[in-house]
Structures are given as C-alpha cells and as structure tokens.
Amino acid sequence: MSRSAPTFASLSLPADLLANLDSLGFEAMTAIQAQSLPAVLAGRDLIAQAKTGSGKTAAFGLGMLLQLNLTLFKVQGMVLCPTRELADQVAKELRRLGRHVPNLKILTLCGGTPLAPQAASLEHGAHLVVGTPGRIQDHLHKGTLDLARLRILVLDEADRMLDMGFAGEVEDVISFCPERRQTLLFSATYPEEIRQLSAAIQRDAERVTVEALHDSKHIEQRIYAVKDNGEKPALLKAILAHYQPVSTVVFCNTKIDCQKLAESLRADGYAALALHGDLEQRDRDLMLVLFANGSCPILVATDMAARGLDIKDLAAVVNYELPYDPEVYVHRIGRTGRAGKHGLAFSMVSPSQGKRQKGIEAYLDHALPMADAGQLEGDADFRMPARMATLCIDAGRKQKLRPGDVLGALTGDAGLPGEAIGKIALFEFQTYVAVLAESADQAVTRLQAGKIKGKPVKVRLVE
C-alpha cells in the first residue's frame, strides 16, 4: 500500500467505527475504497468497476452500517451476490466491520439450505440481509422478507450475476424495493448489459473505475509451453515440486477435467479436491473449508465454482488450460498476490491455445513471460499431503457455540497445544476445526470423552 494513500481517519466517520477499523488493521484505504466511499457516504448511487479482492466490501459495507437505525429490526440494507460462497464471504466481512455495533443482526439468505429456518430467523427481524437472487426472490414471493424499509441496495459482482442468467431474478427482486433508495452496483467488467442495468435501476450514478489489471510486482506470471495435453500432469507436479506453494488453485475449463485431474493427483499422493458445479452445496461448502484451513492444499476448480472463493493467502494459481476470455484470466490470477503479498501464477499453453495467449497479452498490453520447464528443480519424490486435518463438531451457532469454546476444549480437556490448532469455521449446526494431522486422532478421542460448554458433543474426523 502506498504511503500517500488516504486513510479512513480522513473521512468523517464515528470514533467507534474508526477504532474498530484500526483494530482490524484497516489503515490506508484501497483505491476502490478511496474513490467510492465519499459518494457512498453522501448517499449517492454508484457504479464501481473493480476486481475481486480490491476491498469493495468495506467500500459499500461502511455506508450500509452508517445508515442503520438499530432500534428498528427491519431490513434496511441488502446485498445481492451471484453465489452462496460470495454471500457468505460478504456477510462475514460485514459482521467484522460492524462488530462494534450493539445488537446488529445480519442474515444470509442463500439456496442449498432449507427455506423454513431462514423464514423463522426473518420473523425476529434483521438489519441487513445478504443473499443470492433466487433465494431472496423466494422469500419475497412467500412474504417472509419485507423490503418496505430498505434504504440501500448493493449488487455485488453484478456482471457475474448476469453471466449466470440471473437477470430476471434480479429485476424481480428490485421490483420489491422502494423507489427511494441508494443503489450501489459493483462489477469487475462494464459491458453493455451492465450499462443498461445501471440506467434502469440507478439515478445519476457516479461511476468510478479501478485498474482491473494486476501489479506484476505482486504476481509473478509464467507461461510454460507444452506440446500437447499429455505433458501437463508431469509439468504440474514439476511446478509444485520446484515452488512448493502452501496452497494452490488449479483451473480447468470443464468439470470433467477437474474431476480427472483431482483423482490423478490423489492417486499420486497429493491432497487434492475437485470443485465444480455438479456438487451439492453442502459438499462445496465443506471443500472450501478444507482448502481454507490447510486440510487440502490443492483445489482443482472450474471458474463458475471458484467464483467467490476468498483465500487471503493463496500462494499460487495454475491455469491448467487457458480460459477463452482474457478477463477470466485476470480474475483467475487475481486470487493470488492479494493485499500486497507475493503471488505465483502459472499457465500451461499448447500450440492450439496460442490464439488465447495472444488475446490475453493484447488485453494486458504486454507479453506474458515464457519459462523453461527444464529449469524447474525439485525432488522427484515431492508430494503435497495435507498438513492439517479437519474435525466436525455437531454443534454450531444455533447452539451458541463460539470459537473460544472450541479452542478451550481442545487446549484444555483434549490436551492439544495452541499451535496445533488452526482455523475454526462456525456454521448454523456444525463447526469445523483444523488441527495438525498428527494430532487429529488424539483430539477426536479426547473430545468424544469430554464436553464443550458443559455438554457432550459428537465429533468426527472429516475424510
């Protein structure tokens, strides 16, 4: 981050909000925050073009929090997202930004989970809702969601929502919103469809654009030429052995290729999972947990399935096959090298994909550096087993479980040192906790024999 970047303290924000931002490590604003927040705080409609990982959630989230009447348990802000993964990510970030706010209630409304429990939560009221267009639409038509007091509407990754065919659902949801509202539209690209959407739902929207291309100082890009697809498996293993990234997302263009590659890697001793659109939502959620907490170092994914994937310290991205769209290439590699950290982005290019490479280079306005696979050095016996293992505890937010309760049980009754415990992910009825693989059996045995918050719990090791 540049030293000359404006700070949050330069905005007219309440002292408690600034203190919370400071405790979260928010100091200088990112480009999208600096350009967007003045308009958002002034109550203006906004259309902002920025890539994934640019800090846009804070750009709209702070504006939402400052508009809330906390004594009114009615939905006053809503964020529409293309995928459940992104909705979960946005809701989590909004809770962090608003953790200083007493009695703030944020609900996530997405498909893949039963409608009834969500409707029951809505009966008790909420200040903010974050969800996918289809599920939000379901609640509106059933009368379980009331938007009469909505003040601010956010469309996050609006281009992806349109690409996924949600235009009709988005229009229907907006028809339930009050005409007098603030509408913020965030999109990585600005095609004609987005222009038309903005014209239809916004008033005198201010437009800001943040450079969508990635800083080469933060992301090291390399192209490896292959004669045909048959050379790719060995090349992938050579790249992993040479660079030894802690975590890697390997992008394939089809779900069949994802499945085949993940199975091949697992057969060779690599802990890899395939993330694609055919999976049940619960399985997708679990895979993202395992990848984020280090229980699976390699995720083989399609672009659709990986949209909304937010791994803050993703070490490397591999394009097993180049995408057809240059913008997709930018989105792929932008998942590494975030927040100023160094990232690695490798691409395998066969002669038949030369046209795609030229298209990407034209879009980036520079040639992609070529690398020699013969210079890759690494132990031929190198493998990537999982460093962590994941325990599933059959209790979650609904049972008032907190991360501290789980940590206390593991370091207390279970006898694990604090450094053996990794990320703890709370869901409604389950909690997933990462522990060092060599400590997993001990943790399961001790927890099964003990209690958490004075109650026995069911614990199992996620295979």
User: What digits encode the pLDDT tens for the residues 372-420?
Assistant: 999 999 888 899 999 999 999 998 888 888 888 888 888 876 678 888 8
Say whether pLDDT at 156 is over 70.
yes
Say whether pLDDT at 3 is over 50.
no
* Nearest Cα to Cα of residue 307 among 169, 156, 432: 156
Mean pLDDT, range 225-233, rounded to an integer: 94
CB 128 within 8 A of CB 151: no
* H or E stretch covering 389: strand 388-393
- The greatest distance separating any two alpha carbons of the chain, rounded to the nearest whole angstrom, comes to 65
User: What digits encode the pLDDT tens for the residues 169-226?
Assistant: 999 999 999 999 999 999 887 888 888 999 999 999 999 987 655 555 678 899 999 9
Say whether pLDDT at 283 is over 90.
no
Place of tokens 């070490």: 315
Query: Which residues does 294 contact at the CB level (< 8 Å), separation at least 6?
Result: 246, 247, 386, 387, 388, 422, 423, 434
Place of tokens 């992938």: 236
Fold type of domain 388-461: Alpha-Beta Plaits (3.30.70)
DSSP assignment string, 132-159 = -HHHHHHHHHHT----TT--EEEETTHH
| Distance (Å) of CA 172 to CA 77, 109, 137 | 17, 16, 7
More confident residue, 54 or 82: 82
Place of tokens 């009754």: 413
- CA gap 201, 173 in Å, rounded: 11
Going by pLDDT thresholds of 50, 70 and 90, the confidence category of residue 26 is confident
CB 48 within 8 A of CB 56: yes
pLDDT of residue 1: 40
pLDDT of residue 269: 92
DSSP secondary structure letter of residue 231 = G
Fold type of domain 219-375: Rossmann fold (3.40.50)
Say whether pLDDT at 31 is over 70.
yes
Query: What SS3 class is residue 164?
Result: coil
More confident residue, 113 or 388: 388
Paired residues of 223 in beta bridges: 347, 370
CB 129 within 8 A of CB 75: yes
pLDDT of residue 165: 80
pLDDT of residue 135: 94
Neighbours of 128 (CB within 10 A): 25
pLDDT of residue 215: 54
- CA gap 386, 137 in Å, rounded: 40
Mean pLDDT, range 418-445, rounded to an integer: 88
Going by pLDDT thresholds of 50, 70 and 90, the confidence category of residue 339 is low
The correct CATH number of 8-209 out of 3.10.350.10, 3.40.50.300, 3.40.1790.10, 3.40.50.800 is: 3.40.50.300
Place of tokens 């520079």: 366
Please tell me if the domain spanning 8-209 has the same topology as the one spanning 219-375. Answer: yes
Query: Parallel, antiparallel, or unpaired: how do β-strands 219-225 and 343-349 relate?
Result: parallel
Say whether pLDDT at 333 is over 90.
no
Give the residue ranges of DSSP H helices in 307-376.
326-333, 354-364
b/e per residue 354-378 (b: at least 16 CB within 10 A): eebbebbeeebeeebeebebeebee
pLDDT of residue 139: 96
Going by pLDDT thresholds of 50, 70 and 90, the confidence category of residue 154 is very high
Quote the mean pLDDT of the chain.
88
User: What digits encode the pLDDT tens for the residues 302-319?
Assistant: 887 565 566 667 899 999
CB 384 within 8 A of CB 245: no
More confident residue, 44 or 312: 44
CB 63 within 8 A of CB 37: yes
| The model scores a pTM over 0.85 | no
CB 335 within 8 A of CB 250: no
Going by pLDDT thresholds of 50, 70 and 90, the confidence category of residue 427 is confident
Q: Domain ranges in the chain? A: 8-209, 219-375, 388-461
pLDDT of residue 80: 96
| Distance (Å) of CA 23 to CA 26, 255, 340 | 7, 41, 19
pLDDT of residue 119: 95
User: What digits encode the pLDDT tens for the residues 60-98?
Assistant: 999 999 999 999 999 999 999 988 888 988 999 999 999
Q: Is the dihedral of CA 237, 239, 241, 244 positive or negative?
A: negative
Query: Which residues does 459 contact at the CB level (< 8 Å), separation at least 6?
Result: 391, 392, 393, 394, 443, 444, 447, 448
- What count of residues does the chain have? 463
Q: Roughly how many angstroms between the first and final C-alpha of the chain, as a whole number?
A: 40
Both tokens assigned to 167 = 């235009």
Say whether pLDDT at 4 is over 60.
no
pLDDT of residue 167: 87
| Distance (Å) of CA 216 to CA 3, 337, 372, 401, 453 | 19, 9, 19, 43, 49
